[in-house]
Amino acid sequence: MSELIFKTAHELADLLEKKEISSEELTNAQFERIEKTEKYIDAYISLNKEGALNKAREIDRKRAEGQKLSHLAGIPAAIKDNICTKGITTTCASKMLYNFVPPYNASVMDRLSDTPILGKANMDEFAMGSSTETSYFKKTKNPFDTGRIPGGSSGGSGAAVSASEAIFALGSDTGGSIRQPASLCGVVGFKPTYGLVSRYGLVAFASSLDQIGPFTKDIHDCALVLNEICGHDEHDSTSLDIPTADFTKALTGDVKGMKIGVPKEYIGEGVSDEVREKVLEAAREFEKMGAEVDECSLSMMPYSLAAYYLISSAEASSNLARYDGIRYGFRADGCTDVDEVFFKTRSEGFGDEVKRRIMLGTFVLSSGYYDAYYKKAQKVRTLIREDFNKTFEKYDVLLAPTSPCTAWKFGEKSADPLEMYAADICTVSINIAGLPAASMPFGVDKGGLPIGVQLIGKPLGDADIIRAGYALEVHAPKISPEIGGAR
């Protein structure tokens, strides 16, 4: 098997630019890897071999003709299965959309028009989950231990990059769904500032929280993908109309004078000792490089989990009302009237976790409970934002764990929804405040499972995260999984 698939996107981009390799060669090597390892990992819901190879040949032809191409042109990627891809099934890992083929592309897919799409990555159903166990189709395995979960909801995307089944991948992050699987799978995952990447064509879970972002092998690759996918989009009313930054300019390796805060609430009760120690070790490395590191406090952080699940479930209840068996997707058989179509289709088409959140969201929006729950959660959201804003008056970046623990075994938390929800404690507050954040690998626990540290930036402070992460990455131990007894 070609060693190309183990290289980073920026290394491959240079080889492609120099015409030392072809996109077709690289894409074929990637499918060879998928054929070898997918039986262990189950990262993909569907593959797009013919389409990807056709795109690769097209890019090779354009490059040979001297046409101007994007920097990542010809580098194959995996796409989370809630991002619309024209002509390619987009299921959201749900029976409800098992046969849905979008007639249009999400805006990010148009921005990555030079990218061969390897396939659609597995996920928790409608992005609701933290382990990729709620998928209707399959359970994705963690490449470091196939008896353990990869995280969620973008578990397929994280596992694909970790297992070298994709050079990079796209996921979505509503409450940690990029960063948490990145942490558990030992790769880089980036959630941009809300509005920096268009949500047009992302199947909505919670519209005020959702954000598309990349999974990559290192920070440099992350900067390259962000350069491609960020930018204003008139199709998305929440898209920020600001000049597009070049994130590669932040790849300096210099953090001298940078002020980094370590919120004490993120490393307290509920966080494993090994995870806490890795965060503190990262803090010491920053100090050695000349950054100013202090402990700080985010007093509203303990309220973020409750506020998140109330807000996100309310928005999910509204967004998922469109799945009724009438216009597209799954429709139940044997119905005698329209009411029965709605009832049976939604009962049979949605899984337990999705139903749970729809019911919770409908309850908190209902008459008599709106003020007590949803309205109060929105007020808490404002306080959380103000808490972060005050803290960022003093610090450039915050350092925290991504996940309070490393990957757990299948079934370990799925019987207790509240225990599963608690796995998001380190990530949800960032979505509530609309901030950018990244998870990057920083060693392993005593069982050899990856530990990720999280870098949190102020609004539009995405470049500060790239700068800090690139500097820290030099001091992070290199880790990679063995799959089926081989690399």
Active site residues: 80, 153, 177
Is residue 307 within 8 A of residue 380, CB to CB? The reply is: yes
Dist CA 177 CA 427 (whole Å): 9
Q: What is the dihedral of CA 443, 444, 446, 447, to 10 degrees?
A: -160
| Residue count of the chain | 487
Is residue 109 within 8 A of residue 86, CB to CB? The reply is: yes
Parallel, antiparallel, or unpaired for β 77-80 and 168-172?
A: parallel
Side-chain half-sphere exposure of 285, counting CA atoms within 13 A: 21
CA 144 to chain centre: 18
Dist CA 315 CA 366 (whole Å): 13
Name 119's Cβ contacts closer than 8 Å, sequence gap at least 6. 34, 44, 45, 46, 47, 48, 52, 78, 79
Encoded amino acid at 254, one letter: D
Alpha-carbon torsion (385, 186, 217, 396), positive or negative? positive
CA 36 to chain centre: 25
Query: From start to end of 127-180, where are the E strands?
Result: 168-172
Residue 374 is given by DSSP the state I
- In DSSP notation, 176-201 reads STTHHHHHHHTSEEEEPPTTSB--TT
Name 357's Cβ contacts closer than 8 Å, sequence gap at least 6. 128, 312, 313, 316, 317
Which residue in the block uniquely carries the two structure tokens 């500097």? 471
Q: For the packed helices 462-473 and 219-229, what is the interaxial angle rounded to 10 degrees?
A: 160
Is residue 436 within 8 A of residue 454, CB to CB? The reply is: no
Is residue 286 within 8 A of residue 399, CB to CB? The reply is: yes
Dist CA 304 CA 69 (whole Å): 43
